[in-house]
Each structure stands twice: as C-alpha cells, then as structure tokens.
Chains A and B, each alone.
Chain A
Amino acid sequence: MILYLLRRLAVTAAILVVICAATFAIFYLMPAEPAQGACGKACSPERIAEIRTTLGLDHSPLVQFRDYLAGIVSGRTYGTGAQAVNCPLPCLGFSFQTDQPVWQVLTSRLPVSFSIAVGAAVLWLAVGVGTGTVSALRRGSLWDRAAMTAALGGASLPIYFTALVLQYLLVVRLQLLPYPQVVPFTADPIGWAQSLLMPWITLAMLYAGIYARVTRSEMLESLGQNYVRTARAKGLAEVTVVRRHALRPALMPIVTIFGMDLGALLGGALITESVFGLPGVGKLAADAIASADQPVIIGVTLFAAGFVVIANLLVDLVYAVLDPRVRAVG
C-alpha cells in the first residue's frame, strides 16, 4: 500500500512537471514578446531590453524553464540591486496587468471557485445519484422515462444558456434570488448560499444529468449480479440489499468521474463564473486570456491542472480503499 502510494505520488509529480513544461513552452517561447506585455504599449526599446533582463528572458529557454521551476519550489528574485523584486515561494511570476504575484491572485480567487464547485458538487451528487438509483429500481416506469429524458436535457443544454435562462427567471422575473455576488461564507452563510444558488443549479443541471444516467446503468448492472441474489437469499432487508450490495459497486465509476469533474471545477468554472460575473479562478483565466497576461494564464493552467492531477491521485487512493481487488494489484 505504501509502495503504491509512493509510486502514485512520483507519477503525479512527473505529470505536473510535463504540464508545466508544455504551458511554459506555449506561452514563453511563442513569437509574442512577454516583455512587451509587461511594459505596456508606450514603451521604449531600452525599457524592453531592461525588462527582458529582469525577467530573465535573455537566457536560453531551458535555463528560463529551470528558473521558473526553481521559483515554484523555492521562490526567486527578479532583477538585481535596488530594483530587485522578491517573489516568494511558490513563485509563478507577476501579473502584467496588476503587478501582483500570480500565486497571490490565484489563492485570493480560490474561495469563490471552491464555493461554486463544492456547492454544485453536493447538489449534483445528491440529485444525480438519487435520480439514477430510483430510476434503476423502477426501470421502465413513467418516473424512469421522465427522469432519463430530463437528464438527457440537462446534460445537453449549454451552461451559458441555462445560466442566462435561470438568471432571467429567478432574478429578473420572479425576483426570488439576488444577483450572484461574493458573500463570504463566514460573514453570512445564508446570503452566501442564496447568492451562489444559481451557479450551483447551472452546473448541477449539467453534471446531474450525466451522473443520473451513469448511476442508472451501473445500478442496473449491479442489481443483476449474483451476489445481489445471494444478499436477498440471506434475508437482508431490501434497503440493505440495494444500499450495501447494489449501490456500492455501482458508485465505483461515479467516484472516478466525480474526482475529475470536481478537480476540473476547482480550477475554475470559466463559463459559469464569467456569465454570473463571479471573481473566481475561471473568471481570472478569462480575463487573463483577454488581456494576454501570460504569467497569469500559465499560473491558472498549472493551478487547474494541479487540481485535476491531485483529484485523480485521490480517486486512485479512494479506489484502493473501496475496492479490495485494487489493493491486491497495487
């Protein structure tokens, strides 16, 4: 088990370095001049040369990449002498737009993305898995057909469409909810939930549809297993049979997709945050792309990739805990 863990950690670290290299290559080695972006429009050639030296752009790509990685691990200092700027660990550089350290910007945006992702995840897990389970138990019933049609609808509608329709209905017409804004959870939990309810529903509709369909098909498969028949033959209550012997195996693939979905969302729900104007990591990415803020784009990409990779690692570990057969192989 420990060996398995170490091996997985090593693989995870390797993947992150590769992602780092890829994003770095795309943004720093492209023809677009980062020094120009850092300096702004009215900028003299001397100033650009100076910035190139400060940012280390005059070094070879490999050295630049090495410095970038070193900055993440141990922090780095840009420039020398009186103009030296210290970039604390983990250093992802400074935003061209605001001159703030990218790491600081990212972490300041994280609570919003986190609130959106976790709230939506709770909602879609409950609705999706619940609907799928009931559908499987009442296969072929009116409920089943209605739920599966709704699930297909939910999974097919684009986020910007549901987001705008919800906003129009709930905020403008019915005036049930306030316009989404940032309310810290610690200050006002109810206001926090109210203002985030719409983004949650928007995201949950998409994912719940997918989860309901996956849960239903997995449940149908596990309900047909011989060990479910054994469980019934033992005289277990039907609730126990379903929960313990049918639902648990059916949830294994759900764990896999849930890890990846949640990981991806923690790295920012780009469309949802943009439509509702919530300042999360996704909105940051959208803005950074619009203004060609290279350090921020790389930072967000790495940050998001980090979440997905870590989520995958956690999924594998959870798998080893949940499925004894995986433990044996690992």
Chain B
Amino acid sequence: MTLLTVRGLTVEFRSGVRAVDGLDLDVDAGQVLGVVGESGSGKSVTSLAVLGLLRDARVNGEIHFDGKELTALDQRSLRRLRGNRIAMIFQDPLSCLNPYYSVAFQIAEAYRAHHRSSRKEAHRVAVRMLERVGIPEPQRRARCHPHEFSGGMRQRVMIAMALCLEPDLLIADEPTTALDVTVQAQILQLLRELREEAGTAVMLITHDMGVVAGLADQVVVMHQGRAVERGPVRDVFHRPQQPYTRGLLACVPRIDGPLPDRLPTLGATT
C-alpha cells in the first residue's frame, strides 16, 4: 500500500530558484525509501514541502498522504499530521534541539501536542522513549539539557521525539551526517531496529550511498530537483541506468577495491 505519493512536485523560492522541479516519488507503508543526491539537489526541500514547513516558497504539485491531499489542507489539519502521523529528524541534532529545555520536556512536548495527557504522564512517555532509543539511565538523563549530551545521544533524543507518537512515516533528513562513523553505525542500527519493531515507513534523505545501501528498500536518485533514476536499491546500485547515478556511485571509494589516485568528481552538468 502506498503511504505517500508525490506527483509533479515543484518548489520555487522567491528568489526564483527552482529547488524541486516536477518530482514524483512513492513511499510504501513500512518501507524505507532512500532519496540520494548531491547537495542542492532538492532532497531536504522535498521533505520540508511534504510537512508544509516551507515558508517564502511556492509549492505546486500533489502530495497524497494516506488518502489526503496535503497541499489542500489548512494549517490546522497539517499541524495535526506533523509529528503525529509524519515525524521528522534532522541533520544537526544540537541545533535542532532547544538548548533551554530538558530533553524529556522536548519529547513530552511532542507527545502532548497530540495527546491529552498530564505533564507527568508525558514525562513517563519521554523516559520510556529515551530508554527505547538506548539512552543509559533514562530516568536521570531525562532532566539533562541537550548540551550535556554527545552528538549521537542527541540524535537518539531526536529519534525518541519523532517516534513517541508512533508515526506512519518518518522523514530522516541526513540523520547521520553530523556524527562520527562509529556513532553513525549505531544510529543506523537503531533506525533499523525501530523500523522493524514498529513498521514505520521511512523516507531517508542522504548523500551517503552507504547509508542507503544499509537501510533502504527502494531508492530515488535526485539531481537538480528531479528524480533521474529509481528502483529497488540492489538494482540501482548494481545496474545503474543513468550516467548521473553511475557518476554518483563512482565518487564513493570502495574499501575492497583498488585505491584510485584521485576520486572521480561529478561535473556540473553530468
């Protein structure tokens, strides 16, 4: 069953820049769709457009989510979806968490935005979520503030915040980019486990081919605001049809292959 369907999505900023240009994509329920592309290819803008979080931009096209046309919804109805049915985690967890509030408060706040519940109960949910994403001593750590956490733990907090309402779709925008390699692996493992547990569909936005290979079922390759190639991960990685995809894959050095003098780079118009 298709959960999210995007058809002919076009996002144009006031400056006249067209960040997304006629994009189509589908995310099936319970599936992981990898969206890859270089910086500026329109990946993040697409995710923000789905949540209706783009300001100062003209968004055209259709965004269907679970039978609803999101572009036609008013702010109130969109707000009910955000966090509740579609949650999002971002690239830089330090700047994405408010430094003035404890991590438990920020998780509880997301919960309370969509549930009638007491502060106490929401706090309990937050502690439970912290435990679920692997924060040691969640009871004590709940009262900590983001600056007291490491980068990996902060991203765990973001994930706890995103998953506390058991959304149908999680949009993860470069969830591991700002983290160390070992922490990256832990976060990916966590996402994999949580996805298997809860059956949440994931739209995984990244420029990191390794992340896509490790987590995604389907992949869409974006270039200059358009999808240039799509298909199951295995097919796209092993038999790329488009020169751009081949170029993108060639940029990643292989640990088991010969070491090239210089890594290939993408030309501006490839």
Residue tally, chain B, CB below 8 Å to A: 30
The answer to whether A235 touches B92, judged by C-beta atoms less than 8 angstroms apart, is: no
Whether A235 touches B90, Cβ cut-off 8 Å, given contacts A227-B95, A325-B145, is: no
B198: chain A residues within 8 A (beta carbon) = none
A94, B148: Cα distance in complex, Å: 55
The answer to whether B113 touches A328, judged by C-beta atoms less than 8 angstroms apart, is: no
Shortest distance from the beta carbon of A136 to any chain B beta carbon, whole Å: 13
The answer to whether B113 touches A325, judged by C-beta atoms less than 8 angstroms apart, is: no
Q: Does A47 have its Cβ within 8 Å of any Cβ on chain B?
A: no
Task: Tell which of B88, B92, B100, B114 has the most Cβ of chain A within 10 Å.
Answer: B100
B90: chain A residues within 8 A (beta carbon) = 226, 229-230, 233
A236, B80: Cα distance in complex, Å: 9
A57, B84: Cα distance in complex, Å: 78
Q: For A235, give its contact among B82, B147, B158 (CB under 8 Å).
A: B82
Shortest distance from the beta carbon of A250 to any chain B beta carbon, whole Å: 11
Shortest distance from the beta carbon of B164 to any chain A beta carbon, whole Å: 10
B148: chain A residues within 8 A (beta carbon) = 328
A232, B51: Cα distance in complex, Å: 9
Q: Does A41 have its Cβ within 8 Å of any Cβ on chain B?
A: no
The answer to whether A324 touches B79, judged by C-beta atoms less than 8 angstroms apart, is: no
A233, B162: Cα distance in complex, Å: 9
The answer to whether B82 touches A232, judged by C-beta atoms less than 8 angstroms apart, is: yes
The answer to whether B145 touches A229, judged by C-beta atoms less than 8 angstroms apart, is: no
Binary A-proximity of B52-88 (CB < 8 A = 1, otherwise 0): 0100000000000000000000010001111110011
Q: Does A248 have its Cβ within 8 Å of any Cβ on chain B?
A: yes
Q: For A229, give its contact among B53, B75, B81, B113 (CB under 8 Å).
A: B53
The answer to whether A323 touches B84, judged by C-beta atoms less than 8 angstroms apart, is: no
The answer to whether A226 touches B147, judged by C-beta atoms less than 8 angstroms apart, is: no
Q: For A230, give its contact among B81, B84, B96, B145 (CB under 8 Å).
A: B96
Q: Does B99 have its Cβ within 8 Å of any Cβ on chain A?
A: yes
Shortest distance from the beta carbon of B262 to any chain A beta carbon, whole Å: 35
Shortest distance from the beta carbon of B134 to any chain A beta carbon, whole Å: 21
Q: For B100, give its contact among A232, A234, A248 (CB under 8 Å).
A: A248
Whether A325 touches B96, Cβ cut-off 8 Å, given contacts A235-B84, A236-B109, is: no
The answer to whether A233 touches B114, judged by C-beta atoms less than 8 angstroms apart, is: no
Shortest distance from the beta carbon of A242 to any chain B beta carbon, whole Å: 13
Chain A, 71-94, CB within 8 A of any chain B CB: none
Q: Does A322 have its Cβ within 8 Å of any Cβ on chain B?
A: yes
Specify the chain B residue showing the minimal Cβ separation from A249: B100
B51: chain A residues within 8 A (beta carbon) = 232-233
B204: chain A residues within 8 A (beta carbon) = none
A325, B102: Cα distance in complex, Å: 11
A230, B173: Cα distance in complex, Å: 12
Specify the chain B residue showing the minimal Cβ separation from A236: B113
Residue tally, chain A, CB below 8 Å to B: 23
The answer to whether A235 touches B98, judged by C-beta atoms less than 8 angstroms apart, is: no
Binary B-proximity of A135-149 (CB < 8 A = 1, otherwise 0): 000000000000000
B158: chain A residues within 8 A (beta carbon) = 230
Q: Does B153 have its Cβ within 8 Å of any Cβ on chain A?
A: no
The answer to whether B100 touches A235, judged by C-beta atoms less than 8 angstroms apart, is: no
The answer to whether B147 touches A234, judged by C-beta atoms less than 8 angstroms apart, is: no
Q: Does A291 have its Cβ within 8 Å of any Cβ on chain B?
A: no
Q: For A232, give its contact among B53, B87, B99, B161 (CB under 8 Å).
A: B53
Shortest distance from the beta carbon of B191 to any chain A beta carbon, whole Å: 17
Q: Does A3 have its Cβ within 8 Å of any Cβ on chain B?
A: no
Shortest distance from the beta carbon of B240 to any chain A beta carbon, whole Å: 33
Shortest distance from the beta carbon of B61 to any chain A beta carbon, whole Å: 20
A325: chain B residues within 8 A (beta carbon) = 99, 145, 147
The answer to whether A235 touches B95, judged by C-beta atoms less than 8 angstroms apart, is: no
The answer to whether A235 touches B113, judged by C-beta atoms less than 8 angstroms apart, is: yes
Q: Does A245 have its Cβ within 8 Å of any Cβ on chain B?
A: yes
Chain A, 217-250, CB within 8 A of any chain B CB: 225-227, 229-238, 240, 244-245, 248-249
A328, B145: Cα distance in complex, Å: 10
The answer to whether A227 touches B97, judged by C-beta atoms less than 8 angstroms apart, is: yes
A229, B55: Cα distance in complex, Å: 11
The answer to whether A226 touches B113, judged by C-beta atoms less than 8 angstroms apart, is: no
Q: Does B110 have its Cβ within 8 Å of any Cβ on chain A?
A: yes
A170, B26: Cα distance in complex, Å: 68
A238, B95: Cα distance in complex, Å: 19
The answer to whether A226 touches B83, judged by C-beta atoms less than 8 angstroms apart, is: no
Whether A227 touches B96, Cβ cut-off 8 Å, given contacts A233-B88, A325-B145, is: yes
Binary B-proximity of A249-265 (CB < 8 A = 1, otherwise 0): 10000000000000000
A237, B79: Cα distance in complex, Å: 7
Whether A234 touches B82, Cβ cut-off 8 Å, given contacts A229-B53, A325-B147, is: yes
Specify the chain A residue showing the minimal Cβ separation from B85: A235
Q: For A233, give its contact among B82, B95, B99, B101 (CB under 8 Å).
A: B82
Shortest distance from the beta carbon of B70 to any chain A beta carbon, whole Å: 13
The answer to whether B80 touches A235, judged by C-beta atoms less than 8 angstroms apart, is: yes
A–B pairs, 16, beta carbons within 8 Å: A226-B90, A230-B161, A232-B51, A232-B53, A233-B82, A233-B83, A234-B82, A234-B109, A234-B161, A235-B80, A236-B113, A249-B98, A249-B99, A324-B99, A325-B145, A328-B148
17 further A-B contacts with Cβ under 8 Å, apart from A226-B96, A324-B100, are: A225-B95, A229-B53, A230-B96, A230-B97, A230-B98, A230-B158, A233-B53, A234-B83, A234-B87, A235-B80, A235-B81, A238-B75, A240-B113, A249-B99, A323-B99, A324-B147, A328-B148
